[in-house]
Amino acid sequence: MIRALRQEDLPDVLNIEAQGYSFPWSESVFLGCFRPDYRLWALEWGQRLSGYAVVAYMVGEAHLLNLCVAPAKQGNGGGRRLLRHLVLEAARDGMSQVLLEVRASNRAAIDLYAAEGFDVIGRRKGYYPAGREREDALVMALPLGR
């Protein structure tokens, strides 16, 4: 089931975030996303939070900022369901496209986004922290209403 993410979900979100990312978002970053121009989605699996997505609506575009599924639940289609849900909601809300950045090394995510119709439209050099170095991000976009 996909539903709106609530602030009381944050302990589970922070746990999943810490498992999923080397450089996780802080609680204060998540709290800052509970605003009228953001959409936050929760993926429940067996009545347990198993993933989430954070989308910012800016100037008629939906910018996917964070999509994460608990490692134990990856590979079961949850990420695809979240992605399809947020795309559908963005279209319903009149957004012209969905944009995102993804680590250039994250082949599984890139493949998922490409399979769902996203195209690479650019590259941001040194966008992500990666230890002592920084990693490039691919910018991907999905036009809505095509």
Q: What angle do helix axes 78-92 and 107-115 make, rounded to 10 degrees?
A: 50
27 assigned to active site: no
Choice among 101, 116, 127, 133 that is catalytic: 101
Biggest CA–CA distance in the chain, Å, is 42
- Annotated catalytic, 101? yes
Q: In Å, what is the CA distance from 136 to each residue of 25, 88, 125, 132? A: 18, 28, 5, 14
- Token pair recorded at residue 89: 């909601």
Rounded to 10 degrees, the C-alpha dihedral 12/87/3/112 comes to -40
**Does residue 106 have a known ligand-binding role?**
yes
Dihedral sign (CA 32, 68, 37, 140)? positive
One of 113, 116, 128, 135 is an active-site residue; which one? 113
Residue 125 near residue 136, CB atoms below 8 Å: yes
Annotated binding site for acetyl-CoA: 106
Residues assigned a catalytic role: 101, 113
